[in-house]
Chains A and B, each alone.
Chain A
């Protein structure tokens, strides 16, 4: 009864790995319906490729969860999507804009195409239902012809896949440990074999040993089932380890995109650099760390220019008047897909606006 022999419900993707599976284009989200809404997400664009783990990192309140919930249309009021497109590419090559689906289509698409593992598994499971019922519930809702017994069988299969024995189907959530509950959530999210799995801080409430077990489990399942993951966390060191690519968010904008090793070894945005130096290292020399001075800006009253400039060690006069856009960093030899939103890299925009361009500081040109 090894899990490796139980085949997933659908055959692995016919579409090639590396093709985009989810494209988020210029997604904007406001909070508040009145005349003066807060722009919590401004023109965020992201592409998730088939079979990859994309990490989203940033401080709390920077809009990383909003981006994920906006893309799945799970935003509760007063959250309002004000613009953009979320294109989902199915296995057979057809594309749909999630934001244009009607209610019935959306309902059918959810969980089957994209599923979510929420933060804090203890709050996401219903305490009064057995977990078997909760897993099979989703399966039954999407497979009209299926009997309860078949759904339960599939639930058992899913549980075994995440390393929990099938007799736990009759347990209530409180009978499971935190790590097991998180596994149940993952089993539930994978039960319809979705293409995209969004994980919103799935390991924040767990201790490091359990966190490592869950991370390994996800990596293992991804190899076998071939889904793509958007992994949201504030723990950058964890992201560097598991993600293929990382997007760093600050104050509702994506400020840097790069592969995880590039991001770690060669940060290009001052915020990324500061964030990487906010974690005391476990190995290597002990060094004095300062964190990032100040606190994130008030999104309801955001001044023009770069939102990070008040906390930035490299801010100069142009930063208060020009809003930086994502461009290819001004360092030779960087991967063509790298993007950074910082005026130190964007000499052209600085000159066009009539300011004196400033040279790149040493920390941001590492190779």
Chain B
């Protein structure tokens, strides 16, 4: 019988101090030009939904990367692609620098052992007819071998202890319905940890939970990052929680990354007009005036995305350049990138101002009707 690997083995596998990131800059998991197009159903339809286009992403041990964007911007698709729950249309997924595309059952298992996922809804991701013990032992058996008796009990204790579900006896034989939402999400996290993964993909882990227990889960994940040196991808639509929890933040709009950088500077000094709009729209009781008032428009159709920058129909600064050519991610400061022509040195670049001023007036019916017409034309 194989000896069960423990957490310390895994920690030693991940070299060096987890916070010394830029030094031993070798991403654990990396996506290169990842792309996912879903076919549109219909008779002889060759249309596709451009869910994710050309996304580059790097996850480092002991670091949290947040992926922020509105619903339908492709955040969850990225998580599913990285978990290899569905194949990519183009692009590569690299684990420790090697192509990790799973071909067949065995290589998928090997991959999943190192890259685990936590889902949004703990009510849905735990089986209601099984106990906590069943969920965890199953995961342990699959990923660590068939432990017996005392060894299995010790592994269970360790897992529940790691997610702060103590005393263990009180929780281990409970059914999911006997637990609160936060406790259920902790069980889901413990199940992911049973594989002793290097990467944790958390797809909106707190948005279904009650406000008072959200921070508990975030603090737990941060604790796991620090103690076990796990790389975490944190997907959220709440940019304030990204600032609280993540080291680096990527902002997505309509299937593309529009801005990246460390969380503090992305939230305090947003560069891309969309990020500015996003931050200006979040409620903030301390500063009632700094609001993006009168913002209009909606995310574009991903079947026929607008040519050029995908944000151009809503952008107050858009020029012809934005409407024809797609802006690449450009350096806009230390470790920061933004996909906006305003930061290029092209002579025909748009003049960027403050989004808060640009959307000064309330939307009129005429304006929203015009927006509606252009949306119709896009279809």
Check if A280 sits within 8 Å of B240, measured CB to CB: yes
Check if A282 sits within 8 Å of B365, measured CB to CB: no
Which one, A81-89, A210-218, A251-259, A318-326, is touching chain B? A210-218
Q: A210-229, CB under 8 A of B: which get 1 and which 0?
A: 11110010001000000000
Is B212 part of the contact surface with A, judged by Cβ < 8 Å?
yes
Contact A282:B212 (CB < 8 A) given known A164-B368, A177-B298: no
Check if B219 sits within 8 Å of A59, measured CB to CB: no
**A240, B283: Cα distance in complex, Å:** 9
Is A60 part of the contact surface with B, judged by Cβ < 8 Å?
yes
Check if B239 sits within 8 Å of A295, measured CB to CB: no
Check if A282 sits within 8 Å of B364, measured CB to CB: no
Interface residues of B in 242-298 (CB under 8 A from A): 243-245, 264, 267-268, 277-279, 281-288, 291-296, 298
Is A93 part of the contact surface with B, judged by Cβ < 8 Å?
no
Which one, A45-53, A105-113, A286-294, A337-345, is touching chain B? A286-294
Check if B215 sits within 8 Å of A280, measured CB to CB: yes
**Nearest A residue to B277, CB-CB:** A209
- Within 8 Å CB of B162, what residues of A? none
Check if A238 sits within 8 Å of B286, measured CB to CB: no
Our pick among A210, A212, A213, A275 for the contact of B212 (Cβ within 8 Å) is A275
Is B211 part of the contact surface with A, judged by Cβ < 8 Å?
yes
Check if A2 sits within 8 Å of B298, measured CB to CB: no
Is A281 part of the contact surface with B, judged by Cβ < 8 Å?
yes
Check if B240 sits within 8 Å of A163, measured CB to CB: no
Check if A60 sits within 8 Å of B210, measured CB to CB: yes
Check if A163 sits within 8 Å of B295, measured CB to CB: no
Check if B365 sits within 8 Å of A237, measured CB to CB: no
5 extra A-B contacts, CB within 8 A, seeds A2-B366, A163-B368, A286-B244: A165-B365, A240-B285, A278-B212, A292-B212, A295-B180
Is A99 part of the contact surface with B, judged by Cβ < 8 Å?
no
* A-B CB contact pairs (8 Å), 22 listed: A2-B365, A3-B364, A59-B211, A168-B372, A208-B239, A208-B281, A209-B277, A210-B70, A212-B292, A213-B363, A238-B283, A241-B285, A241-B288, A275-B212, A280-B245, A282-B240, A282-B267, A282-B284, A283-B268, A283-B287, A293-B216, A296-B210
Is B182 part of the contact surface with A, judged by Cβ < 8 Å?
yes
Within the complex, what minimum Cβ distance (angstroms) separates A222 from chain B? 13
Q: A23-61, CB under 8 A of B: which get 1 and which 0?
A: 000000000000000000000000000000000000110
**Nearest A residue to B179, CB-CB:** A295
Check if A282 sits within 8 Å of B71, measured CB to CB: no
Contact A207:B70 (CB < 8 A) given known A237-B285, A282-B282: yes
- Within 8 Å CB of A210, what residues of B? 70, 298
**A286, B246: Cα distance in complex, Å:** 12
Check if A280 sits within 8 Å of B244, measured CB to CB: yes
Within the complex, what minimum Cβ distance (angstroms) separates A178 from chain B? 7
**A282, B285: Cα distance in complex, Å:** 10
- Within 8 Å CB of A178, what residues of B? 71
**Nearest A residue to B69, CB-CB:** A207
Measured CB to CB, the residues of A under 8 A from B are: 1-3, 59-60, 160, 163-165, 168, 177-180, 207-213, 216, 220, 234-238, 240-241, 264, 274-275, 278-284, 286, 289-293, 295-296
**A264, B183: Cα distance in complex, Å:** 29
* Interface class of chain A by DSSP: loop
**A240, B287: Cα distance in complex, Å:** 11
- Within 8 Å CB of B369, what residues of A? 165
**A212, B291: Cα distance in complex, Å:** 9
Contact A208:B215 (CB < 8 A) given known A177-B298, A286-B243: no
Check if B210 sits within 8 Å of A59, measured CB to CB: yes
Within the complex, what minimum Cβ distance (angstroms) separates B354 from chain A? 15
Check if A212 sits within 8 Å of B281, measured CB to CB: yes
Measured CB to CB, the residues of B under 8 A from A are: 70-71, 180, 182-183, 210-216, 219, 237, 239-241, 243-245, 264, 267-268, 277-279, 281-288, 291-296, 298-299, 362-366, 368-369, 372
Within the complex, what minimum Cβ distance (angstroms) separates B226 from chain A? 13
Check if A237 sits within 8 Å of B283, measured CB to CB: yes
Our pick among B183, B211, B365 for the contact of A234 (Cβ within 8 Å) is B211
Contact A290:B215 (CB < 8 A) given known A212-B281, A280-B241: yes
**A209, B365: Cα distance in complex, Å:** 18
- Within 8 Å CB of A289, what residues of B? 215, 219, 244
- Within 8 Å CB of B363, what residues of A? 163, 213
**A13, B296: Cα distance in complex, Å:** 31
**A180, B296: Cα distance in complex, Å:** 12
**A292, B213: Cα distance in complex, Å:** 6
The listed residue with most B CB atoms (<10 A of its CB), out of A237, A274, A282, A284, is: A282
Contact A264:B285 (CB < 8 A) given known A163-B365, A280-B215, A282-B279: yes
Check if B293 sits within 8 Å of A290, measured CB to CB: no
Within the complex, what minimum Cβ distance (angstroms) separates A351 from chain B? 32
**Nearest B residue to A183, CB-CB:** B368
**Nearest B residue to A175, CB-CB:** B379
Check if B212 sits within 8 Å of A208, measured CB to CB: no
**A210, B368: Cα distance in complex, Å:** 13
- Within 8 Å CB of A163, what residues of B? 363, 365, 368
**Nearest A residue to B183, CB-CB:** A295
Check if A279 sits within 8 Å of B211, measured CB to CB: yes
Within the complex, what minimum Cβ distance (angstroms) separates B350 from chain A? 20
Shortest Cβ-Cβ A-B pairs, 4 listed: A291-B215, A280-B244, A207-B70, A292-B212
**A115, B97: Cα distance in complex, Å:** 58
**A81, B244: Cα distance in complex, Å:** 42
Check if A209 sits within 8 Å of B281, measured CB to CB: yes
Check if B215 sits within 8 Å of A278, measured CB to CB: yes
Check if A211 sits within 8 Å of B286, measured CB to CB: no
Contact A291:B216 (CB < 8 A) given known A160-B365, A207-B70, A212-B291: yes
**A210, B296: Cα distance in complex, Å:** 8
- Within 8 Å CB of A179, what residues of B? 298
Check if A3 sits within 8 Å of B365, measured CB to CB: yes
- Within 8 Å CB of B366, what residues of A? 1-2
**A128, B284: Cα distance in complex, Å:** 39
**Nearest B residue to A263, CB-CB:** B285
Check if A209 sits within 8 Å of B364, measured CB to CB: no
Check if A208 sits within 8 Å of B237, measured CB to CB: yes
**A213, B277: Cα distance in complex, Å:** 12
**A165, B283: Cα distance in complex, Å:** 28
